[in-house]
Amino acid sequence: MELLRQSGIKQGGKKNKVALFRDVRTADALRAASPAIRRLFLNSGFGLNTYDSGVPAGYYPAEDEEARNQILRQLVGDMKNTRLRGEYCGDFELAGFLDHILTAKPLITPASMQVVEGKTDQAPSARRKALFRVGIGVGLAAIAFALIKCLADTFSD
């Protein structure tokens, strides 16, 4: 149980989702950061271990989007309520991490496509694609705005 808690898995939920780092150096840098920085990420739903999903850099599996957005919203909320000024980040570059998560795009894989009447290659309509892109853009813009505001508030004290 302690290992699960340290990995960022909250107990008692129906489905536990944890954001894991792909880059060992990033995870190592976060493990070396101050306890407050580590706790911020753990409490937001991140684990301190690594996992290679096989998705290229700059992308994330589209089927993880809902859980990813929930964890990122939690991170933003926790950043607003956590005093980070003066905390040791070491080699963990918070600004670089935030830039990476804001620019990453979903990668649609065969596993993320819905099966409709036994067919897996149903292409969404142009309208649906456009609405999806607008929704992603608005969501990323909102997260970016919240992160920038949070960072400005945190480091302007």
Number of domains in the chain: 1
Could you tell me the two tokens for 124? 């969404």
Could you tell me the two tokens for 10? 């909250």
Mean pLDDT of 78-85: 86
Mean pLDDT of 114-133: 57
Looking at residue 25, its pLDDT comes to: 93
Q: Which domain range does residue 43 map to?
A: 2-155
Taking the C-alpha atoms of residue 13 and residue 32, their distance in angstroms, rounded to an integer, is: 29
| Residues near 155 by beta carbon (within 8 Å), at least 6 away in sequence | 84, 85
Closest to 123 (Cα-Cα) out of 113, 135, 133, 134? 113
Taking the model in full, what pTM does it have? Answer: 0.61
Taking the C-alpha atoms of residue 7 and residue 103, their distance in angstroms, rounded to an integer, is: 25
**65-79, 81-95, 107-121, 125-139: which is most confident:** 65-79
pLDDT band at 7 (very low <50, low <70, confident <90, very high): low
- 70-109 in b/e form (b: 16+ CB < 10 A) is ebbbebbebbeebebeebebeebebeebbeebeeeebbee
Torsion sign over Cα 131, 132, 135, 138: negative
Q: Backbone phi, then psi, for 153, in 5-degree steps?
A: -65, -40
